[in-house]
A and B are shown apart, each in its own frame.
Chain A
Amino acid sequence: MCLGIPGKVVEIRDGGPLRMAMVDFGGARKEACLSYVPEVRLGDYVIVHVGFAISRVDEDEALRTLELLRTIDELALEQELAGGGDEARGAGLASS
């Protein structure tokens, strides 16, 4: 369920009863409602589902996840050499 696509807020329209925005999904743009993400500003990325932004993309977390994924084989090697507990990986992957 739940086709939610990340897109960039490129224009904000405050005119009507609901706060709307033009969101760019990498070349295709469509209007989305920002009512549920009042903290979002121009240039932020949001996850859009059926014309509503349901979440703001946390870019720091995104980077952190990617960094971790990129080095997954190095971490595995470290663990093999250390011969034991994977607190580092566990702590890194689990999120607060």
Chain B
Amino acid sequence: MTERQIAPTAADTPAAGVAPEAAAGVAPDPANLACPAPIPERARVLLGHGSGGQLSAALLRDVIGPALAAASPGGPLNDAAVVDVPAGRLAFTTDSFVVSPLEFPGGDIGDLAVNGTVNDLAMMGAQPLALSLAYVIEEGLPIEDLRRITASVARAAGRAGVRVVTGDTKVVGRGAADGLFVNTAGIGLVSPGVEVGADRARDGDAIVLSGPIGLHGIAIMSVREGLDFEVEIESDSQPLNSLVAAIVAACPEVRVLRDPTRGGLASTLNEIASASSVGIELEEGSVPIPGPVRAACEMLGLDPLHVANEGKLVAIVPEESVATVLTAMRAVESGSEAVEIGRVVADHPGMVTMRTIVGSQRIVDMMVGEQLPRIC
């Protein structure tokens, strides 16, 4: 990494952990860096923190590194990592996270980023092996926020039993990122014999949902500017790999695993129905929706079936296995409220229906565009 002098301006506050000489534009004495200055209370991320020089090193060494220590033991994070991979099929995924606000009831962008990628691997029937963590930070983000979010990443990784092994940090000018954008990529080992995919649902299969829906989306909306309302609801963001392990152990022939994130349960089920060329029929009243989620949706004119979830999954299994699968899921914390919500049918391929209160079948459609609160 090349050294660069960053001329401080009057507006700059001293960067965390950088010796005063560096901040003043004088060539730093390496020996002094071993004894970092205390981090100023109101320090903020500067463009220099992303430029690969002394400030970047300091950010990594004094803020990001220590916060991640629990999740990535064993020394400095490098630009690339070498991982020992057992024989088998590797699942590989990446996801970027741009949620705003960065912190919300029940979580923050950090644990969301870890759980999201762990879950993408889990939906392929894979247990996570390693994660990468890339930050694009908006100039001006408080260092404290970065530290707190990174600690969140570490805790989430620990909970999921996976390590962050490599990463990257960039800083962009004010207004170019919403505080912080995070990308995580992950590799995982697919359990032997497991073949899951959205196109594998078959007529007669049972559809299982791991728990109540609508929590994450409503939690986010409740703190979004212009909408604020009070709910005793927290995001359900959590890793689902242990739940998937339990499902796979109980039923290796599991056909589909999906987490209904953006677009909600309705969109996920529609995607599966379309990919598998089958119909899906939901049992009226069988989809668990917590009272406060319903109330918030009624208030804003939203459909709970279109609200995002972060710690839930849909599993489609052969009919004869549903009882065993439910028992196995309910034994795991993240599946304790698992229920059967419907069946796969040969009728109306590509469509999802639900019985209405007058006894007719109602089509459950996919979400169109963004969910906007309405007055009508």
Contacts and interface: CB of A to CB of B under 8 A. Distances in A.
B230 A25 contact: no
Given A5-B298, A5-B299, A28 B229 contact: yes
A1 interface: yes
Given A3-B301, A30-B229, A30-B230, A25 B376 contact: no
Interface string A26-54: 11111000000000000000001110000
A2 interface: yes
B231 A28 contact: yes
Contacts of B374: 3
B375 A27 contact: no
Interface residues of B, number: 19
Nearest to A26: B295
Interface stretch (B4-12, B43-51, B195-203, B286-294): B286-294
Contacts of A48: 299
Interface residues of A, number: 16
A2 B299 CA distance: 11
A1 B301 CA distance: 11
A27 B376 contact: no
B296 interface: yes
Interface in B255-303: 290-296, 298-299, 301
Nearest to B291: A27
Interface in A37-96: 48-50
Contact of B295 (A1, A27, A50): A27
Contacts of A27: 231-232, 290-296
A28 B375 contact: no
**Among A3, A28, A30: residue with most chain B CB under 10 A:** A28
A4 to B, nearest CB: 10
Given A3-B374, A30-B229, A50-B375, 18 more contacts: A1-B375, A1-B376, A2-B376, A7-B299, A22-B230, A26-B292, A27-B231, A27-B294, A27-B296, A28-B218, A28-B222, A28-B229, A28-B231, A28-B295, A29-B229, A29-B230, A30-B230, A48-B299
Interface of B: 218, 222, 229-232, 290-296, 298-299, 301, 374-376
